[in-house]
Structure 1
Amino acid sequence: MSDTNKKTNIILLLITIFAISINLRPAITSIGPMLETIRDQLSLSNAQVSLLTAVPVIGMGIFAMLSPILNRLFGLKQTMYVMLLLIGLMTALRGFISGYFILLSTALIVGIAIAIVGPLLSAMIKQNFPDRAASVIGVYSFGMGVGSAASAGLTAVFYESTKSYQFALSIWSVLAIIGLLCWFLTMRGYAEVRLKNANDKIGSSKKSVSPWNSKKAWLFLLFFGLQSSAFFSIITWLAPIAIASGMSLLQAGTLLSVMTTVQIFLNILIPLAMERFGSRRFWLLLMVISGMISIVCFWTGIYPLMWVGAFIMGIPLGGLFPVALLLPLDETENAQDANAWTAMMQTGGFVMGGLLPLVIALVYDYTADHHLTFIIMMSLYVMMLILSFLIENKKQEVAT
């Protein structure tokens, strides 16, 4: 294969990783701006409506371990096709059938599909870009950031234009069509052959140690769970908190957009910077402390400070996820191990991430006091601050 064809295939693979990753958040993050609307129109409690974001995230955790199993049984190509199709169909279904049950059931199925896609993408990155994993994780997280920002910011706009929360939620199914098209183009030829060759190589390698027996993997799981909890809590509850502070739905959606716009750029800039200046601890401390400052700004309820807080919160939202994804890639030697470690990390991590917004909803239903919401969010960053001193730099062992 010529150098030109290789470069073309690499570019196509990067575009495909981006196109798939933009599908991994909109079905969840589009719910946040619509929480109040859905709750009022369907006469739900805060806990019930919060299940719409909690259930898919918990599903992402419980079913993440299916990823390496389905990959072995059906192969990467077919598994990815089916999961992207499920994400698209379930998101589109929200526009045709109304009601709480359909929202909850589609949320669960989307969560299962995302659970399987995530570790597959990490394995692809480890296999095809072993020396540039940080940069390509940046593309992956950048795509997720674009999906999150677009759905968080534009869902309210679609609702204001149509007065239909069903349309505002279902429109994001078009992203799955883009993902499927890119996957089809990438799987014709070079990428598919290379994946087969890599699998052959993996099959002849020595037996790997299960991540479930590794103390370091459990540390990664805990960190991933805390950052997931922080991400989904703020994405789910920032708009309701802003509305409770006196902002309109459109203002609250714009506040969310500011935060996720900063996140988009940092999703790719932080991994690139980490590749050049690779100290994990420095970047972890920078992002965790930024998150703590942001929560204090939100906590004041003062509008100018809330806008400043939204800008600052983009730093941990943009950086913590790609850092978490890099941890198992740094510690594994091949795509098979990367898939297993990532699946294990996401299994426990996403369960934690799904439960925290639900806990916040239950607490708020009981107390009607968002001060407790901020205490919960701040505690997540305090725990991540402690973990920042336990997670060493790349290839170093964690002190035990």
Structure 2
Amino acid sequence: MKQDTPVQRPLWLALSIILVGLNLRPTLAAIGPLLDQLRHATGMSFSDASLLTTLPVATMGAGAFLGSWLERRAGARQGVVIALLLILLSSALRWLPASFGALLATALMAGVGIALAQALIPGFIKQHFPHKVSALMGFYITAIMGGASLAAAGAPWLASHSAHWQNGLAAWAALAILALPCWLLSAPRGAPGGGSAARAPQFSQIPRAWLLAFYFGIGTAVYASSLAWLPALFVQLGWSQQQGGLMLSFMTGMEVVSGLTIPLLSARSHDMRGWLTLVLLAVLAGLLGMVLAPHGGLLWVALLGLGVGGLFPLTMILTLHHYEDARNAGQLSAFVQGIGYLIAAVAPFAAGWIRDATSSFNLAWLCLALLIAGLLVLTRRFAPQGYAEAMQTPAAVAAQTR
């Protein structure tokens, strides 16, 4: 098989990866701060509005498997180009008159684009930056969270300072316009990963792959629910829509801090369990705090942001550590994200349904807190000396013990 072209300008490639990351949340994060205008313009219920986050997250799950297929057929370079074009188009179409159907269609289109990029970038990082996986994954995921923070704060500001509130949804097409040429100029023209040598292991037969997917899915469920409903929670408490958006921006700002520092601090450790426990405890405290003492919002949102911001990159780094081979690691990452996002997609809809049924988000936060407590118990299973054995099928393990 033809080898990938060596990276000639790694700094520019790293910058391009960061720019791609900036594009992977604004189409979702801009919805929550503008929820009142969206509901007024379209007549949506809270359950309907939850679909604008739930269905794209589910699409991100299904699309992750498409990303693995696309990498084998066309290569990561072309796959990311397609992803950015889909994100660009989905944002630009939001300048059209708003309707629930149109918003849902653009959200689904964005979900496919996000899924493709997220399925391709982790393996691409491991392949081209094998000795800097933790650091670059930290920067990349920080960029994802930074894009969410930018949209959460910028969407209501753009809506209130322009003639059309749709500008708060559509302006993020500019980020894709910036990222596309940078990626095309810096990403190496590698051969597609087709052929028998690139065939992925049967992850559906490996319990550890499912465990990683569940772990990723629950952490992402907390993030997706916060993205969809955190502004609405504070509006319900009497805050303004702008203030609710700023709280989401503050949370994602804390995610940026954690996403940047935790991977760097943990880079020398092959055992992620201590770091995972730390960030899970922060998430748990944030969720319980919003139920028990919601008016201490800044503290709980800060803890939630710091916890989720560290959990996302640590889970992806943990997944990549399970294989030395970059292609297998990338394909495992795609499987974990595919199943994980399908799990996470349930959470925003369930939270919206609970809000309609109980007039409160408290039960939703308590359910998420219970799931995070479960992840704390599961964390002890990720001992690094067991990675190789854990990635074998039960049949292979049984054959070795005969």
TM-score scaled by length of structure 1: 0.91
Structure 2 SS opposite 1:162: coil
Distance 1:135 1:394, change over 3 A: farther
Residue aligned with 2:345, SS: helix
Q: 2:3 aligns to what?
A: none
Q: How does 1:182-261 map onto structure 2 within 5 Å?
A: 182-187=182-187, 191-192=188-189, 195-196=190-191, 209-261=201-253
Stretch deviating more after TM superposition (215-224 or 256-265): 256-265
- Specify the alignment match of 1:14 in structure 2: 14
Q: Contact 2:155 / 2:167 at 8 angstroms: preserved in 1?
A: no
Q: Cα deviations across residues 292-343 of structure 1 (Å, max 9, x unaligned)?
A: 111222224543x111111111211211111121122111232321232111
Shift of residue 369 of structure 1? 2.3
The superposition leaves residues 112-155 of structure 1 with CA deviations (integer Å, 9 ceiling, x where unpaired) of 11111112101111101122211111121011011011011211
Q: Give 3-state SS (helix, strand or coil) of 1:24's partner.
A: coil
Q: Does 1:371 align with 2:343?
A: no
**How many Å separate the matches in 2 of 1:10 and 1:241?**
43
Query: Where do 5+ consecutive residues of structure 2 fail to align?
Result: 1-5, 395-402
Change in Cα spacing, 1:293 to 1:56, as seen in structure 2 (3 Å) is same
What is the distance in 2 between the residues matched to 1:99 and 1:34? 14
Q: CA deviation at 1:374?
A: 2.0
2:285 counterpart residue number: 293
Q: In structure 1, what is the Cα distance between the partners aligned to 2:42 and 2:13? A: 42
Deviation track 1:139-184 (CA, whole Å, cap 9, x = no partner) reads 2101101101101121111122226331100011100011101112
Residue in 2 aligned with 1:140?
Answer: 140
Amino acid paired to 1:50:
S
| Aligned mates of 1:348, 1:179 — CA distance in 2 | 27
Which of 373, 378, 385 in structure 1 is aligned with 2:376? 385
**Are the aligned partners of 1:145 and 1:260 in contact in 2 as well (CA < 8 Å)?**
yes
> Any idea what SS the aligned residue of 1:389 has?
helix
Alpha-carbon offset, residue 245 of structure 1: 0.8
Following superposition, the deviation at residue 79 of structure 1 comes to 2.2
**C-alpha distance after superposition, 1:16-67 (max 9, x if no partner):** 1001011111101111111222112211110101100111100000121111
In 1, the alpha carbon distance for the partners of 2:198 and 2:108 equals 37
Question: Structure 1: where are the runs of 5+ without partners?
Answer: 1-5
Q: Are the aligned partners of 2:83 and 2:117 in contact in 1 as well (CA < 8 Å)?
A: yes
Deviations 1:207-247 (A, max 9, x none): 65322221211110010110110111112111111111111
Q: Deviations over 1:343-389 (max 9, x none)?
A: 11111100111111101111211221222122122123112212222
Match of 2:345 among 329, 338, 354: 354
Structure 2 SS opposite 1:276: coil
For 2:7 and 2:69, the matched residues in 1 are separated by 31
Q: Could you tell me how far apart the structure 1 residues matched to 2:298 and 2:336 are?
A: 33
Asked whether 1:325 is paired with 2:316, we answer: yes
Change (3 A) 1:207 1:101: closer
Give the Cα–Cα distance (whole angstroms) in 1 for the partners of residues 27 and 98 of structure 2: 15
Three-state SS of the structure 1 residue aligned to 2:33 is helix
Match of 1:3 in 2: none
CA distance in 2: counterparts of 1:107 and 1:229, whole angstroms? 17
Q: Any idea what SS the aligned residue of 2:262 has?
A: helix
Give the 3 Å change call, closer, same or farther, for CA 208–371 of structure 1 in structure 2. Answer: closer
| Residue 149 (str. 1) matches residue 149 (str. 2) | yes
Query: Aligned equivalents of 1:90 and 1:80: distance in 2?
Result: 15
Taking a change above 3 Å as real, the CA distance of residues 8 and 262 of structure 1, as seen in their structure-2 partners, is farther
2:224 counterpart letter in structure 1 = F
Instruction: Give TM-score, length-normalised by structure 2.
Output: 0.90
Root-mean-square deviation (CA, aligned residues, Å) is: 2.2
User: How many pairs are equivalent?
Assistant: 386
Q: Write out per-residue CA displacement over residues 246-285 of structure 1, whole angstroms, 9 at most, x where no aligned residue.
A: 1111211221222111111211211111113443111111
Query: What amino acid sits opposite 2:99 in the alignment?
Result: G
Q: Residue 269 in 1 paired to residue 261 in 2?
A: yes
Q: Decide whether aligned partners of structure 1 residues 243 and 394 sit closer, same or farther in structure 2, where only a CA change above 3 A counts.
A: farther
Partner Cα distance (2:89, 2:199) in 1: 38
Query: Do the aligned partners of 1:59 and 1:108 also contact (CA within 8 Å) in 2?
Result: yes
Structure 1 348/302 Cα, relative in aligned 2: closer, same or farther at 3 Å? closer
SS in structure 1 of the partner of residue 144 of structure 2? helix
1:316 to 290, 294, 307: 307
